Amino acid sequence: MIAGAMRNTPKAPRRPRAEPPPVRRCRWVPPEDALYVRYHDREWGRPERRDRRLYELLILEGAQAGLSWSTILHKRAGYRRAFAGFDPRKVARFDSARQRRLMGDAGIVRNRLKIESTVTNARAFLAVQREFGSFSRYLWAFVDGRPLANRPARGAVPARTELSDRISRDLLKRGFRFVGSTIIYAYLQAVGVVNDHSRDCFLCPRAAPRRRRVRK
């Protein structure tokens, strides 16, 4: 009887599983935009050393001037198609007729100066490669090859720094266009030369451990 009674005892209801806490990201990421979220999670702030990708992001950051990054991000596929997969050797050979045709391409920002700068910057990019062996070597030399992890407080990211001022001036001397200090700082963030994921973002690097002072 006791065994039967135990079999007929109703089971206690299972407790619902607790929902995992939402992932916290830098506050500039619109959570409803899956493409933007993917860019933040998989690209922004990660050290990039491939020349073609460095050229691509330099062009896209320049194209953003006066516009939102969301606009550029959603035209990225159009840019890759229009500008030969961001191969600077091919883009450097775009003649004036091809540049004029791009003014009718709805897949990119149809701004004459920005289109022309993409070609001008490709030629300057190749010159840097010839001088330094790669654009990556040139760029990363400004930080001795190591990313700067700033761990900024939420909303405390600067628009420009002494580093971006210095790189901007050097790029301008080398014939690059749309490389003002604000654009270059955004570029440094994008390619991971600077890591500006905020402290409350799940991708923020850990703080370096403090060294204990040794008493003499």
Q: Which residue has the tokens 């091809």?
A: 98
The reply to whether 39 belongs to the active site is: yes
Q: Which residues contact 117 (CB under 8 A, 6 or more apart)?
A: 62, 177, 178
- Tokens matching residue 39: 């860019």
User: Helix or strand or coil: residue 160?
Assistant: coil
The reply to whether 28 belongs to the active site is: no
Q: At 179, give phi and psi (nearest 5°).
A: -130, 40
DSSP 8-state class, residue 195? E
The reply to whether 69 belongs to the active site is: yes
Catalytic residue among 48, 61, 138, 140: 61
Other C-beta atoms within 10 Å of 175: how many? 14
For 84-150, the DSSP string reads GGG-HHHHTT--HHHHHHHTT-TTS---HHHHHHHHHHHHHHHHHHHHHSSHHHHHHGGGTT--EE-
Q: Which residues contact 150 (CB under 8 A, 6 or more apart)?
A: 157, 194, 195, 196
Give catalytic residue positions: 39, 61, 69
